Every structure is written in structure tokens, then in C-alpha cells.
Amino acid sequence: MTAAGPGKWLSRTNHYGWITDYLVARRMTGAVRVIMALVAGSLAVCLLALLNSVDAPRSAIPLAMMWTAFAGGVAGAALWVLKWPTRGESLAFALVSNTSVALACLSYPNPQGGLTGCIAFATAAAYIAFFHGTALVLYNFVLATAVALVVAVRVVDSGHLALALVDIFLVLQVNIVMPLAIHVLVRALGVDLEQAERDPLTGLLNRRALQQHVRKMLAGTDREYLVVAVVDLDDFKHINDTYGHQAGDDALVAVGRALGHAVFDTTAVIGRIGGEEFVVAAACRTADPTLLSRRICKAIADLPVHVTASVGTSSAEIRSLDGDEAALHTLIERLVVAADEAMYRAKRAGGNRFRHAS
């Protein structure tokens, strides 16, 4: 397995999805939502306390900056109380909250208070940015550095040169040294996230990555239904026993390519989730899986390698979920299970046919 370069790893945008998968699978989203709501709410409370302090800003622009930060904290708390946010909503909250806190640091009259807020902002921003992609990392680096420089000038003017140097050092360390250290560690471990998502034989998505890619597919489509097909090769053991395991591997690769040809003009995700078991998840305008099933069966029947497959399908409306990550995760799992059961009904009926979940 080849190692992924730090720049390549940093540029990926699936860190948030991976974290969501992990938390949903372990039923930890509720606890995390409470923690995030408390953090955002605490930000709002702290800013409200600063606005009511004796040395609060009096001019209009600094006051507007701090009230903006306060509103960002309230909005963030409400967001996490109401739902598990999508990646886009989380990204928007990160941008608004980070920018507003930076403005609050600049507008607060007490330079020592601004310094403390600046360091806290830089630390939080670096972690948040890391899980949302390169663009936000660069944005936060520029913003945190600019805030640190302005705060440092104010601290120097108040006669605390050492504090100004500490401010600059810590902000730069958080935004440069920490991300680089993480990338070096990843590279030393030889982790290739792209390969970790793929079945090494067919190159298709593996079971772990399938969920995330289906959610990403649905986020980019206006279609109303999700149709899931589970495809299992008939009597695959016979192929291995008669022609050898290399022939079996060749057949699996050929079937993977055939599935790609079957849905090439469809918004779909394909994965291999077992020995001879594949999944096709397609965004459709209708819940009727007949067309997808027939195309899959025909693509496999047209292969030069003589194999047949049993296909089970299931479908559900996705329009009502409205970006609810946890509900979508549960729905995808349920559809895969239902399609798998339908596939076994097709297999018991003699194979080389398809059945739809009742």
C-alpha cells in the first residue's frame, strides 16, 4: 500500500463524512450534539458577558462585530440542538463562527483579553478546518495570522512585548506545526485513504466507504428516490472449484466492470461488500427498480465469462429526509438489508432473476 502525500491527504473533503459515519455507527451523535450545542452556547454567553462588562466597546463597529459573534454562537447552538448538520451546514457554521470570533478578538478593548481569545480561536479553527478540507485550512491560517498580528500590535502598545511574541508564536505553531505534524504521522504510518476505501481486487468501493459515498451522491442530486440493488453471483463456488481462483477473480473484476456499464448514465454508486456480492445504489425519479434490475442482469449476461446473478432490490423516498445524516444512514442500512433478503428469495427461486423487497 502506497503512502499518501500530506498535500493529497489534506485536500480530501471526506473527513467530516468519516467522522459522521463513526459517530452514527456507535450511536454517539446525540452526545456530540449536546457537547457542540453547549460549546456554541458557551461562546454566546461569554460574548454577552463581555458586551456587558465595564470595558466593553462603545463605538458602533466593534459593538456590531461582537454582536455578530454572539449571534453566531446562538445560531450554532440552535443548529446542533435541532439536528445533526450536513457537511455544508457544518462548514457554514465553522466559517461564520470562526470569522465572528476573530472579529470579537479584534474589537475587544482589553488587549490581553483579545490575546486569549485569539489563541483559543486559532486552536479551534485549526481543528475545525482540518476536517473540512484545504480551502478552510488556508482561510483560517490567513485569518488567524491577521488577527494575531493585530492583537500583537495592540499588546505591544500596552507595554507587553513578551505577550505579543507569545501570541504570534502560538498562533503560527497551531496553524502550521500541528497540521504538518499530523501529515507526517499519517505518512509515516503509510496510510492511503483512497485505497482504504476501495476493494483491492475490483477497485470498487468497500462496505466501509459505501455509506459515505451514497450520502455524497444524494446530496448532489434532485431525484426523489433511492434504489438499492444487491447482486450475488450464482454458484460462484463452482467457478472457483472448476476453473481455479484466478478465474474466479477474473469473473469478479468482469462483473464489477459490467455493473459500471449498466449504470454509466445513472447517478449511482457501486461497491463490493462480500466475496461475490455487490451493491448498486442509484438515485432515481421513480421507486420502480425494474429498469435498473434488467440493465444489471443484461450487463452480466453479455459478459464473455459465463456467469449469472441473483438480484434483490429495495427502494425508498429520500425527499423527506432533508439532509438528516443520521436518518439517511439508517435508511441506507435498511435498504441494503431489505435488498439482500430479496436477493436470497431470487436465489431460492433458481437464480438468474431479480426480486423486489415487499
Of 194, 219, 244, the residue that ends a domain is 194
Last residue of a domain, one of 167, 194, 221: 194
Q: Residues 189, 246: one domain?
A: no
* Cα 99 from Cα 42, distance rounded (Å): 17
Q: Does residue 249 share a domain with residue 228?
A: yes
Mean pLDDT over the full length of the chain: 77
Does 200 fall in a domain? no
Residues 31 and 98 in one domain: yes
Residues 6+ apart with CB under 8 A from 72: 43, 44, 93, 96, 97, 99, 100, 101
Residues 104 and 215 in one domain: no
> Does residue 184 form part of some domain?
yes
φ, ψ (nearest 5 deg) of residue 346? -65, -40
Whole-number pLDDT of residue 340:
92
DSSP annotation string for 129-180: HHTT-HHHHHHHHHHHHHHHHHHHHHHHHTT-HHHHHHHHHHHHIIIIIHHH
CB burial of 292-322 (b: ≥16 within 10 Å; e: otherwise) equals: bbebbbebbeeeeeebebbbbbbbbebeebe
pLDDT digit string (tens) for 56-87? Answer: 777 787 778 778 878 888 888 888 888 878 77
Q: Do residues 163 and 230 share a domain?
A: no
**For position 259, which CATH number holds?**
3.30.70.270
Number of folded domains that form the chain: 2
Q: Is residue 156 part of a domain?
A: yes
Q: Provide the greatest CA pair distance for the chain.
A: 86
Instruction: Let me know if 59 is exposed, middle or buried by CB neighbors in 10 A (0-12, 13-18, 19+).
Output: exposed
In a domain, 146, yes or no: yes
Which of 4-13, 43-52, 219-228 is the least confident region?
A: 4-13
- 56 and 160 share one domain: yes
- Looking at the DSSP bridge assignments, the partners of residue 232 are 277, 310
The whole-angstrom separation of Cα 272 and Cα 275 is 8
Residue 202 lies in a domain: no
Kindly state whether residue 158 falls inside one of the protein's structural domains: yes
Q: Is residue 121 part of a domain?
A: yes
Which tens digits make up the pLDDT trace of 143-153?
777 777 777 77
Residue 201 lies in a domain: no
Same domain, 123 and 186: yes
Kind and range of the H or E element at 91? helix 87-107
Average pLDDT value for residue range 278-291: 87
The last residue of one of the domains, among 159, 194, 229, is 194
Q: Are residues 149 and 294 in the same domain?
A: no
Domain limits for position 274: 207-356
Residues 82 and 166 in one domain: yes
Contact by Cβ (8 Å): 236, 248? yes
